[in-house]
Structure 1
Amino acid sequence: MVAWTIEARGIRDPAVIAAMRSVPREAFVPASIAGEAYADHPLPIGSGQTISQPYIVALTAEAARLTAGDRVLDVGTGSGYAAAVYAHIAREVVSVEVVPELADRARAALAAAGVGNVRVVTGDGTLGVPENAPYDAILAAAAGPGIPEPWIGQLAQGGRIVMPLERGDGWQQLVRATLGDDGLEVAELGGVRFVPLIGEHGIRPS
């Protein structure tokens, strides 16, 4: 998978490539579709949610410029797979999931995979997890109308937010926002397709 769907599409960060090779994706998908685990497309994981395609997880990790000393906030735990990839690179990952059933399953999958530096929190990811701030990177697997204000307040100086933003007419743009002395500097990284970011500072549930 890594050679054809990750490296061949331009991912170059050695730490990201090593993480993608090391984390067993099949451990984070339902057993009924484990045979599709390494296909480069999203897969259903229940509760109307999906596990992101491998390339998008790698792209997000590389765009975040993760290093071994980083504390990461992962918004939208889902299956726990992306959190496991980030945790292979970074020092600590706090992952927040709004759907309790998914949070429980992710905790179990992470434990079974031997990932010990991820803490899964059940709650509104748009509020962040302030008790563990500041974060060197905040990474979101769901698209919102803008960058949630609480995330900016929980970001370390020089920290990066990587998330998809809604651009209208069903179009989403993956962006990296870096916190500098003059505020956030935003770079666009390409078109993507993610589930909605549900929460107080995202898309409110109907």
Structure 2
Amino acid sequence: MQSAEPTDEAIVTYDCPLGGQHAPPGDEVRIMFWDGGEFVVACVCGGEPLTEANSQPHPTRDHLVMIGANDPTPAEWLRLDAAADGWYALNPHTPREHGTGTYAQQRQQIRERARELADEAEPEPIDGNHDERDEAARGVVCPKCNANSGRKCQRPSGHRVRSSHSARIEAAVDDGVLTPQQEEADDTADATPGEQVALTGWSA
């Protein structure tokens, strides 16, 4: 099976750490594969040619942002995957540090899962992980984004996020849906900056 065909329509929009506004895909950015199902996006704001964006070291990493595997919808993930140009600082045929198989094999598994979930209204995470705390927290309405019971939290842009907002976790504890011990698990829905899509600045 082939990946979805890329289009000129923007998949995500974001403000990079260097002040530029970008809407991949486009000539001012380069989308690259990273790890199993993530993406690294480089932009021209860093002054480096995009053809060298997959090499290291960089004068600065501020022109790099990361998109987590579960932050886009499966349909958006497939479009990013189709628009990607090479791997960032990885040999896809080497074994992964965590998990089994090579980076390329893991990505193919995620790609196949994304295709299966692309048409679902409420798809599960495409990386196959399962967060019991988050599923339990969905038993209450989110006070922050007003997601109804049983539905995932979302950002103001409408993008769904895998992990519930901290306010929802607290509400679930108050309602007895979660125990305080479960509440202590890391929460990522509030920690990732950016309202348009889950993008994080690169960190060494």
TM-score (norm 2): 0.29
- Bigger fraction of residues in helix: 1
**Higher RCO by CA contacts (8 Å cutoff, separation 6 or greater):** 2
The structure with more radius of gyration: 2
- Bigger fraction of residues in strand: 1
TM-score (norm 1): 0.29
